[in-house]
Amino acid sequence: MCGIFFSLTAAENPVLLDRDLRYLLTKRGPDEGSYSIGVRGAGLNLFNHEGNGRMWLSFASTVLSMRGDDVVRQPLTDSGRTGSILAWNGDAWKIDGQPIPEKNDTEIVFNHLLQATTQDYLAEDYTGVSNPVQRVADAISKITGPFAFVFYDAVNFRLYFGRDCLGRRSLLWGLDAAGNLTICSLSDASSPSSFQEVEADGIYMIEFQDDQSADPEPAPAAGPLCFDVKNIQRIPWSHEALPKYHMISPIPPMNKAIPEGTPSQLTVTSSVLRELEDRLRQSLALRIQNVREPPLAGGSNVKIAVLFSGGLDCTLLARLAHDILPPGETIDLLNVAFENPRVVAAAAKGLGQRSSAYEGCPDRITGRAAFAELQRVCPSRNWRFVAVDIPYVVTITHRDTIKRLMRPHNTEMDLSIACALYFAARGQGTAIDSQRPDARPFQYKTPARVLLSGLGADELFAGYSRHGIAFSRNGYRGLINEIELDVSRLGKRNLGRDNRVIAHWGREARFPYLDEDFVAWVVRTPVWEKCGFGVPGAPIDAGIDSEKKTLRLLALKLGLENVSREKKRAIQFGSRTAKMEKGKTKGTDALD
C-alpha cells in the first residue's frame, strides 16, 4: 500500500505537497517516503495559454512495503536511460498470466511499462503493435491485481494514470483555483467537491507537446495558466478490440443464460461447489502466503487479520486461511462495536436490550458465535478474537478525520460504513486467544498489515435482499440484471472510499472475492449455480437462505453449520454506526 501525489502546472514554481496532505499520505505508507520534482521543457499547449515555456510535473510517493526483502523507494525514475517516472500503489499478482516471484512488484511493473514505451518492442523478432500508446494499454491489461498508478512516459511525452478495472485502490483527481491539476490517493483539504475519483472504466492519458527547443524561461502570460480537462483522454476497458486505443478487460460479459425448466438441486457434492472451493483457495493463497514479517511485531506470530463480523463471507475466508497458513501462525479476528447513544438511551428506558453497549451489538453477537465455531472446527489454530469497542466520544473525536479521508464520498451512509472500517482497521481492543480460553482478556493492537475483507461476495453471489426482490418480480432475467449492475459499479460505490479509510492505519485490505480470475469465473457461471432462487432445496438445506447459497453450502461442507445459516446484515447496522444522533436521517442524506 502506498500514497501517490502528482501535480501538473505551468506556473513559475512546481506545486508540492502541503503539510496536511503529506502527513496523511505518510500514514498510508510509513515505511519510507521519497519526493522528487519532475520534468520541464514541454510546451504549454495543455493550458489555456498561448506560447511555449516551462511545465512542471511533480511526483511524491510514500511506501508501505509488503513484498520482497527490501523497501523500494518511490517514485521510481529511469534516470540513466529514458527519464520516465512511476508512482505505483498496487499488488501485481501476475503479469500476462504468470505469477510474479516473491519480490517487490513495483520494479517489475516499471520495467514492464518501460519496455512498452521504448523501441525494445520494435526489435526484428517483434511482431506486435507498433503504436506506443496501445503498447502501454496492452501492458496495463496484462497486470492482474489491485492497483492505482501515475506513469510519465518521457520517451513519448505522455502521462498515464488510472486504477484497475475493479477500482480496488484509491486515486482522485482535481483542479485547484489556479487551474493546476493534482492526482492523489487522497483529496486535498478544500471542499469535498474539488476532487473526484478517477473512474475505474479505463486508464487516462495526457499527451504533451514534444518541445525540446522551448525557452527554459516561461513566456509572458497571455491569460491565466489553467489546465484544460479536455486534454485528458480515456483508454477504456473493453471486452473486445476497438478501432482506437483500448484495454481488454479481464472480466468477461455476464452469463445471461436462463435455465430451461427447473435447475438441478445444489448440494455439498455439486461440481460447481468443488470448483468454487478450489478457485477461492487459489485467490486467498495469493494474498496470504509469504507475507513479510511486520516490522513492529515484537515477536508476535501474527501476519494476517480478518475484518470479522462473524458473517458468512469473512468467516469462510478465515476457515480457508486456516488450511493455507502455517499451523503456528495466529489469525486475528477484528470485531468492531460502537456505543450508539440512541440505542443506549432506548435501553435505559426499557425499550431495548439491557446488555453491554458493545456486547449487545449484532456483529459482536455473531462474531463471538463464529469465533466459537472456528474453535470447534479448527482447534489446532490459535484464533485471537479482538473486541474493538468504540465509545461515542472516541467516534466524535475521529469523525472529522474520517470525513476527510472518505472524500469525495459525502453521505450519512458513507460515514457510517467508513467509521466501522476505520476503527476495525485500527485493530486496537481487548483480545482473547482460543487456545487460552481461561486466560483473562488483554489489551492488544494487531501488528498485522494484511487485512482480509469479504467484500464482493454479496455482489457476485446475490447476497442482498434486493436480489430476492428482483427475482420475485422478473425471474432470472431480473436477478441477472441486478447482479450485473452491482458488479459494474463496485469501483464507483465502495472500494476507493474503503481503501482511503483502511490504509490510514498503514494496513492493506485484500479482497479474495475480487480476484480477477475468480470474478471472471463467477460471472461466467450460470446464475442458478450461484444462488438458490428457483432451485429446489434438500433436507440438509433447512434454514439456508437462497442468497449466496453456493457460498453457504461451502461453509456447511467445511463444518461451519451455524455460519452457513447466518442472515445478511449491513455493517453499519451490525456495528451500530448508523443513526447515532438522529433516527430520521436517510443514508443518502448529504453531510453538513
Give the active site residues: 2
3-state helix, strand, coil in the chain (%, to 5): 35, 20, 45
Confirm if 1 and 177 have CB atoms less than 8 A apart. no
Q: What dihedral do alpha carbons 158, 164, 167, 173 form, nearest 10°?
A: -10
Residue 225 makes CB contacts below 8 A (sequence gap 6+) with: 9, 10, 11, 44, 47, 48, 49, 178, 179
Rounded to 10 deg, the angle between the 312-324 and 362-377 helix axes is 30
Query: What gap in Å lies between CA 255 and CA 280, rounded to an integer?
Result: 19
Write out the three cell numbers for 300: 508476535
- Backbone dihedral angles phi then psi of residue 230, each to the nearest 5 degrees: -65, -15
d(CA 110, CA 86): 7
Q: Helix, strand, or coil here: 442?
A: strand
What is the C-alpha to C-alpha distance for residues 62 and 114, in angstroms, rounded to an integer? 22
Taking residue 477's Cβ as centre, other Cβ atoms within 10 Å add up to 14
Sorted by sequence, the CB contacts under 8 Å of residue 372 that are 6+ apart come out as none
Compute the half-sphere exposure of residue 269: CA atoms within 13 Å on the CB side of its CA.
2
Give the torsion sign (CA, 390, 391, 392, 394).
negative
Cell of 511: 479482497
CA pair distance 300, 386, nearest whole angstrom: 15
Prior bond to 341 cis, omega within 30?
no
Q: At 278, is the secondary structure helix, strand, or coil?
A: helix
Ramachandran quadrant class, 204 (left: phi over 0; alpha: psi -120 to 50; beta: rest) = beta
Distance of alpha carbon 482 from alpha carbon 547, whole angstroms: 13
Q: What angle do CA 77, 80, 83 make, to 5 degrees?
A: 45
